[in-house]
Structure 1
Amino acid sequence: MNYLVAVLPDRIQVEAAYSALEKAGLPTSQVNILGDGYLSADEFGMIDPDKQARKQSTRLFWWLVPFGFFVGYVFNYLTEVEIFPQFPRFGNEFLAGILGGIAGGLGASLIGGGTSITVGSGDALPYRNRLNAGKYLIVVTGNQDLTREATRVLREFEPENIQGYTDYSQKSKLLRN
């Protein structure tokens, strides 16, 4: 499956481009318009970077908090550092484990959430930003010949950006898994 995504600045141009694709004989079932008054990014199935970031952060949280607790406990056990001298040795080790778990949780939220938003969203985030800015997208899905023909037609409208994607695994970086 191939995808072709073109960014057009306004509704008039996107409707003219859609009509031109229709006149060129492209099946309208494989042409989608995203933007105000048409499909939203969520309705089309575009990846939501915030959801992906939360999912990655949660996954890391379940690994890093127990690991942080274990490392904090073991580190304090080996070094015998007294965090609070009035606590018994086990109390200091347990407190170090809790602090290690907290550090693991913070790491999961910062690394899992922040990195996933910027890296894990592929090209979906720039396209969502353009939709939020009032621009329109035309997405053509189909075989290589269809997207090549659509590229030829859409170039006449001088889109801000035109990008093709080939999806060999049937799971695109642009669409949800």
Structure 2
Amino acid sequence: MNYLVAVLRDRIEAESAYSDLERKGIPLSQMSILGRGYKSADEFGLLDPYDSAWKQIRLMATWLIPFGFGAGVIFSIISGLQTFAWAGEWGNHAVGGVLGAIAASMGSIFVGGGAGIILSGDVVPYRNRINAGKYLLVVQGTAQLVRESTTVLRKYTPETLQGYEERG
């Protein structure tokens, strides 16, 4: 499935472009307007990368932190390190466990979705444009349908006109 996303200035321009696409024979079922009064980003399926990343981070932390604590204690016991003389033998093992839990929490952030928060791709800019009062016109279909839609939408000089190919 191919997608074409056009960011248009206002509702009138979005509706006009939608009507032009309809006149050119683009099926209504393959076009969507996103913005105030139309579909929201969530209704269309633009997932919020922040929500999904934090969900994955919490899921990984639930499992990794206890295992990290245990691994830190076991490492401390095996290695026999006495990092803090004042803490005693069991205190040092507890410190090793806490350090293992900290390392595990960092792992859950970096591997679990922290990169998704930082490198969220095009989804966040599209959401920001909708929140700023702009409209997105999305056409989905074959490569030929997207090419035909591109020629129609170019005359509206959209802020951006971006094509995507869904990878299975």
TM range (shorter): 0.7 to 0.9
Partner of 1:45: 45
The whole-number CA distance in structure 1 between the counterparts of 2:144 and 2:158 is 20
Kindly report which structure 2 residues correspond to 1:4-43, keeping only aligned pairs within 5 A, or say none.
4-43=4-43
Identity %: 51
- Residue type matched to 2:97 in 1? G
Any unmatched runs of 5+ in structure 2? none
2:137 alignment partner in structure 1 = 138
> Residue 84 of structure 2 corresponds to which residue in structure 1?
83
Q: What is the TM-score of this pair, normalised by structure 2?
A: 0.86
CA contact (8 A) 1:2 1:166 kept: yes
| 1:122 match: secondary structure | coil
Q: State the superposition RMSD in angstroms.
A: 2.2
Q: Using the alignment, how far apart are the partners of 1:129 and 1:40 within structure 2? A: 12
Please show how residues 1-177 of structure 1 align to structure 2 within 5 Å: 1-62=1-62, 64-77=64-77, 78-83=79-84, 85=86, 87=88, 89-109=89-109, 112-119=112-119, 121-169=120-168
Please give the alpha-carbon distance, in whole angstroms, between the structure 1 residues aligned to 2:4 and 2:101.
Answer: 45
The amino acid across from 1:2 in the alignment is N
Shift of 1:73: 2.3
How far apart are the structure 1 equivalents of 2:156 and 2:116?
34
Higher mean C-alpha displacement, 72-81 vs 121-130 = 72-81
TM-score, normalised on structure 1?
Answer: 0.82
Contact 1:82/1:92 (<8 A) preserved: yes
Task: Number of aligned residue pairs: give it.
Answer: 167
Task: Give unmatched runs, 5+ long, in structure 1.
Answer: 170-177
- When structure 1 is superposed on structure 2, of 57-66 and 44-53 the one drifting more is 57-66
